[in-house]
Structure 1
Amino acid sequence: MTPRSSHPVAPAGFWQRPAVAQALASRDIGGFLKLYQQWTGATQTQIATACEVPQSHISHIMRGKRQVTSLDMYERFARGLDIPRALLGLAEPAPTAETPALVERTGPDRRAVLAVTAATVVLAADDELDEVTRRMQHFAASNVDDAAVEQLNVSVDLIGCRYEGSDAAAVYPTALRQRRYVAELMSGHQHPRFRGELYVVAGKLSGLLGYLAFDLGNEVLARAYCNEAMSLAQAAGHRDLAAWVRGTQSFIAYYAGRYKQALDYARDGQRHAAGGPASIRLAISGEARTLGKLGDRRGVDDAVDRALAAHAQADHVDPVGYFLSFEPFGAARLAGNAASAYLALGAVDRVREFTDQAIPVFARSNSAASHALTLVDASMTYLVGHDIEPDRAGALVSEALTVGSRLRSQVVARRAQDFVTGAAPWAAVPEIAEVADAVAAWRTPAA
C-alpha cells in the first residue's frame, strides 16, 4: 500500500481565486483551510502533518474555535501548504546556509532553563527585598514555554499518524522516548499553567503507550499505562482525556473478552466525555461493539444511532483521521465499528451496509490496520445465512492479509484467527485453506 503524499497540490489558478486571495489577505486561516480542502481534497490529518500543527488545532481553526495570530503559525502554514508568501503579507526569507532538517524536535534543549526575571530588578542591601526578588525570579522561570508545549502536542499527533501506516513495534520506541522526556521536564520547574499542560501531554503519551503495549501483546503493561494516563487526566481536570483513556480501557477489555467490564468503561467514559470529542468513539467502539457481543440488538441500535447523531453535529471532522487521534471519530471509523457490532449479532445486511461505506474510504487512505479489519468483517458475512460463499470470504481475508502484511498487529492477527475458526467447516475450500496457512504463519510479537 503506497503512503499518501504530505498534502495534495493546489490546482492551477487556485491562488488567483478571489475568495482565496481575500481569505489570505485578511489572514483568515480558518476560511482559507475550508477553501483549500474544497479544491485539493486534503484531509485535516494531511494538513496537520504538512504544517507540523496538531490535528486538533486544525479542527478548532476550521470551526472558528481557535484564531491564528502568531507569525510562527503563519510561517508554518505558508511552508507546509506552499502558500505564496506575499498573499499572507509575509516577507521572503533571507537566504541562509542550508541546515539539516530537524527530526522529531519535541521542545527546548533538555539542559536549558528559560529564566524570565522580574521587569524591575530591585537592587537593595536589605536581605528581605533580595528574598522577594529571588522568589519572583523562581516563579517566572520555566523549562518550557508556549512553543515547547505546542511542539510536544505535535509529537503526540505524529505518533498517531505514523501508527496508522505502520505498526505498534515501529512507533512504540518514539512514544516511550517522548514520554520519558516529558517526565524529565516535569521534574524541573514550570509556571503552573505550563505544568497543567505537561500533565495533559504526559497523559496522552501514557494513553498511547497503553494502546500500543496491548497491540504488542502485553496487556499488563497496557493496563498500567492506562491507569497512569487516567491519574494524569484527573490531576489536570481534563475530561476529554479521561474519556479517551476510558475508551482505550474499554477497547482492551473488549479484546480480552471481558465484555461487561468493557461496557462499564465505555459508559463511564461517556460520563467524562459529556458529549465531547470522545463520545462518538465511546458509543460506537465501546458500547455498540460490546453490546453486540452481549447479544443486545436494541442496545446496539441505540448506541449506533447516538454515534451517528453525534457525528452529524460535529463540524469539519476528517472522514478518515486516524485511530489514535484525540479528535472525534470520522465517518469511515464509525462505519467500520458499526459493522463489527452488527457482525456479532449476525445482522448481515447491516454489516454489509457499513462495510460498503468504510472499505473504499480506508482503501484510499493510509489506514492499513482499519482497512484490513473491515475487510475481515465483510468476509464473515459470506459464512452465514442462506447464500454461503466461502471462496469469496477467503478471498476477502487474503486481501486483508495483503493490506496488513507490513503490520505486526495483535488486533489484526486475532481478527484473522477468528475468521479461520469460524470458517473451519469449509477448511477444504482452497481459498479458506490458503488463509488458514497464512494466519498460522502470521508472526506477531511475543508479550
Structure 2
Amino acid sequence: MSLPEALRALRGRAGLSLGALAARTHYDRSHLHHVETGRRRATRAVAEALDHALDAKGDLFAMWERDERVRKRDAAAQRTRASALAVSQDLCGLAELDVDDLYDGVADIAVVSRSTPPALMADRAHVLRDEALHRIRAGLYPPTGLADLYVAVGRLSGVLAYALLDLGCPHDAMRHAEAAASCADRAGDADLAVWVAGTRSLIARFQGDFPLALDLARGGLRQTGSGRGTGRARLKCGEAQCLANLGDSAGANSALNAAEDARERVRSDAPGLFGFSRAKQFYYAGSSLIWLDGGEDARRALRAATDAIAIWQSAPAGQRSLVDERLAHIYAATAHAQLGDVEGAADTVRPLLSLPPEDQISWIVKRMDRLARLLSAPYFQGNTTAHETAEAIRTLAGP
C-alpha cells in the first residue's frame, strides 16, 4: 500500500474530513488533497504531521520513507540507463569518426546541452573529450588541426563545467572551466577565452562570491577587444548580476544598458551553449535585477524575464533552452512577488510545480527556495495563494 492509499484509509477510519485533518496538521486542505490523491509528493514534515494527527504510531511515516526510497531508486536507475545507453552509442561511433565529424559532434553537444539532463550531457562530453585528447596525444590530426582540436577539448570542458554546475558541484565545475581556459590559451582562441571568463564568473556567482565573480567578468571584458561576437554582451550581463547582488542598482542597470549597446554591434554568434542569444540576454537582465529592492528594478526584471520566455516559447524546439526557460519563469514570479502581485507570481511559477526530480537542477532548487521565502514573508501573512504556492514549492523540493 502506498502512502496516499494509507492516508485515505486512515482518514476514513478516523472519520475526519480533509478540513478537519488540515486543522490538526496546520497544512492547507487543498495541499493535503493533492497528497492524498498522489498528485503531490509529501515532504518529511507533512508525513510526520499526518502520522501524528492520525495516531498512526509511525506506520504512515514508515510508508513515506519506503516510497521515498523506491522513488529515488527508480529515478537513479532511469538516469543510469539513459546515460549508459548514450555513452555506449557514442563509443560505438568513435571508431568511424573523422576529425571533421568530431568537430560536428562538439557543435551538436553545444546545441542540445541546455535541453538535456546534465548527468547525460556530462557523460557524452566526457567520452568525446577523451577521443579528442587521444588524437592530440597520438598526433592523429591534419598538419594545421592542432589548434582546432584544443578548441574542441576546451569547449567540451566547458560543457562539463555547465553540467557539473547544474548538478550542484561548483568546485568540479570550476576545475573544468580552468581546463577550458588552458585549452583556449594553447589554441590562441580569444573567443573561447572570453567565453571561459564568463563561465568562471557564473560559477563564482553560484558560490555567492560576487567580488571574485565581478573580477572574472571584468577580466574577460579586457580580452574582448573589438570583436563582433556576443562575448562582451554576455560579460556585461554577468557584471550586472554581480553588481545587483552587491546592492548597486545604478551600476547593474548601467551594465545592462552597456550590454544592449554591445548587442547592437554583434555580427556573429556561436551555436547553443557557446552563444548568447537575445533571449538569454533578457534572461540575464531578469535574473540580475530581482536581487535589488523591487520597484523599478523589479518592473524591468519582470519585462525582461517575460520577453525571454516569449522568445523561447515561440522558437523551434531545437532552439529552446528548457533549463533557462524554466528559470526565467522563476525570475518573473519573483519580480511579481516583489511588486506585491501574488496571483501573478503563482500563475507564472505554476508550470514548474510538477517537475520530476531529475529536472530539479541545482539552479532551480536555489531560486525556487528564494521565491518560497519571499511568499512566506510577513507582508503576505494571511494570503492563501502565497501560502499555498510557498508550500507547493517546498513540497517540490522534498525533504
**TM-score normalised to the size of structure 1?**
0.61
Amino acid of the structure 1 residue aligned with 2:302: R
How is 1:352-363 mapped onto 2 (pairs within 5 angstroms)? Answer: 352-363=302-313
Amino acid of the structure 2 residue aligned with 1:376: I
Q: Corresponding residue for 1:13?
A: none
Q: Corresponding residue for 2:13?
A: none
Q: Corresponding residue for 1:374?
A: 328
Amino acid of the structure 1 residue aligned with 2:282: A
How is 1:223-372 mapped onto 2 (pairs within 5 angstroms)? Answer: 223-276=174-227, 277=229, 278-284=231-237, 286-315=238-267, 322=272, 324=273, 326-327=274-275, 329-345=276-292, 346=294, 347-365=297-315, 366-372=320-326
- Does the alignment pair 1:394 with 2:346? yes
Amino acid of the structure 2 residue aligned with 1:109: A
> Does the CA-based 8 Å contact 1:395-1:431 persist in structure 2?
no
State the distance in 2 between where 1:299 and 1:233 align. Answer: 30
Task: Check 1:301–1:428 CA distance in 2 against 1; reply closer, same or farther (3 A cut).
Answer: same
Task: Check 1:167–1:402 CA distance in 2 against 1; reply closer, same or farther (3 A cut).
Answer: same
Q: Corresponding residue for 2:102?
A: 152
State the distance in 1 between where 2:104 and 2:234 align. Answer: 22
Q: CA deviation at 1:104?
A: 5.3
Amino acid of the structure 2 residue aligned with 1:409: I
State the distance in 2 between where 1:226 and 1:372 align. Answer: 24
Task: Check 1:213–1:206 CA distance in 2 against 1; reply closer, same or farther (3 A cut).
Answer: same
Task: Check 1:437–1:166 CA distance in 2 against 1; reply closer, same or farther (3 A cut).
Answer: farther
Q: Corresponding residue for 2:168?
A: 217
Amino acid of the structure 2 residue aligned with 1:255: F
Task: Check 1:179–1:434 CA distance in 2 against 1; reply closer, same or farther (3 A cut).
Answer: farther
Q: Percent identity?
A: 27
Amino acid of the structure 1 residue aligned with 2:327: L
How is 1:128-167 mapped onto 2 (pairs within 5 angstroms)? Answer: 148-167=98-117
> Does the CA-based 8 Å contact 1:291-1:300 persist in structure 2?
yes
> Does the CA-based 8 Å contact 1:107-1:148 persist in structure 2?
no
Q: CA deviation at 1:429?
A: 4.1
Q: Corresponding residue for 1:75?
A: none
Q: CA deviation at 1:437?
A: 4.0
Matched residue count: 299
Task: Check 1:211–1:344 CA distance in 2 against 1; reply closer, same or farther (3 A cut).
Answer: same
> Does the CA-based 8 Å contact 1:250-1:265 persist in structure 2?
yes
Mean Cα deviation higher: 397-406 or 360-369: 397-406
Deviation string for 1:144-169 (max 9, x for gaps)? xxx93332222122222222223212
Amino acid of the structure 1 residue aligned with 2:197: R
Q: CA deviation at 1:243?
A: 0.9
Task: Check 1:108–1:375 CA distance in 2 against 1; reply closer, same or farther (3 A cut).
Answer: closer
State the distance in 1 between where 2:321 and 2:358 align. Answer: 12
Task: Check 1:154–1:401 CA distance in 2 against 1; reply closer, same or farther (3 A cut).
Answer: farther
Task: Check 1:438–1:384 CA distance in 2 against 1; reply closer, same or farther (3 A cut).
Answer: closer
> Does the CA-based 8 Å contact 2:354-2:396 persist in structure 1?
no
> Does the CA-based 8 Å contact 1:254-1:290 persist in structure 2?
yes
State the distance in 1 between where 2:203 and 2:220 align. Answer: 14
- Does the alignment pair 1:182 with 2:132? yes
Task: Check 1:443–1:379 CA distance in 2 against 1; reply closer, same or farther (3 A cut).
Answer: closer
Amino acid of the structure 1 residue aligned with 2:95: D
**TM-score normalised to the size of structure 2?**
0.68
**Gap regions ≥5 residues in structure 1:** 1-102, 111-146
Deviation string for 1:397-444 (max 9, x for gaps)? 222345787624211121111111222124764444444344334469
CA RMSD in angstroms, aligned pairs only: 2.7
Task: Check 1:106–1:235 CA distance in 2 against 1; reply closer, same or farther (3 A cut).
Answer: farther
State the distance in 2 between where 1:291 and 1:106 align. Answer: 47
Q: CA deviation at 1:270?
A: 1.3
Q: Corresponding residue for 2:43?
A: none
> Does the CA-based 8 Å contact 2:376-2:390 persist in structure 1?
no
> Does the CA-based 8 Å contact 2:210-2:242 persist in structure 1?
yes
State the distance in 2 between where 1:267 and 1:304 align. Answer: 14
State the distance in 2 between where 1:344 and 1:441 align. Answer: 24
Q: Could you tell me which of 361, 366, 371 is aligned with 1:419?
A: 371
